[in-house]
Amino acid sequence: MNKKQQAKEILQLLKKEYKQTGPFIQWGNPLELLIGIILSAQCTDIRVNMVTRDLFKNYKTSEDYANANIEELEKEVYSTGFYRSKAKALKETGRIITEDFEGEVPDNLDDLLKLRGVSHKTAYLVLSKVYGKNDGLAVDTHVFRLAKRFGLSNAKSPIIMSRGLSEIVDPKKYLEWNEYLITHGRAICGRTPKCDECVLNNICKTGKISK
């Protein structure tokens, strides 16, 4: 089985195993998704959703973030961790979107990467979820860990892994592949994998070694 076939089978098996994925960032418009993903760095989506429930009531536009009192913003995002850098990222991103993009979240990779706190992972998720564009496969900590365990990549950075995975996964399945691996990572394949309970054990390099 080559890597393309393996990636395809992995997704098929995970879709049979999990009736739904998540939980993920809750959002109602492109700006809310972008802000939520920025806040999710080193933080759970559940915690982010708790914070944004009030945050999104107070900040509805990019201009609201641009004009925010930084100390107040820090307090509001405090529980997501790294609150000072995240508050600065939200304020600066709000300014850039307001001044350079007429208050609209950009719809292309180059412009999204100009925003503070936006990585390739963040940009790929926004492009996929908001604009239906499959520019690349988003690699977070779960995808980074699992792809190595599956034997699909030995890349030493998420961006390099993303380039490799984007060549073996069907572009139309980039988002599904990301979300199902995250769901599986949370449930079974965490830092200490539960290989005996894993539906992928027979096609996973680590799983075979563990037998």
List own/partner pairs for 200-206 with CB under 8 A and 24 or more apart.
200/10, 200/13, 200/14, 200/150, 203/1, 203/6, 203/9, 203/10, 203/13, 203/150, 204/149, 204/150, 204/151, 205/149, 205/150, 205/151, 206/149, 206/150, 206/151
Count the neighbouring beta carbons within 10 Å of the beta carbon of residue 83: 17
The answer to which of 51-60, 62-71, 86-95, 198-207 has the lowest mean pLDDT is: 198-207
pTM value? 0.94
Q: Alpha carbon of 14 to those of 7, 22, 203: distances in Å?
A: 11, 13, 12
Domains and CATH numbers, the chain: 3-21+137-210 (1.10.1670.10), 30-131 (1.10.340.30)
Q: Is pLDDT above 90 for 134?
A: yes
SS3 20: coil
150-185 per-position pLDDT tens digit: 999 999 999 999 999 999 999 999 999 999 999 999
Cα–chain center distance at 46: 13
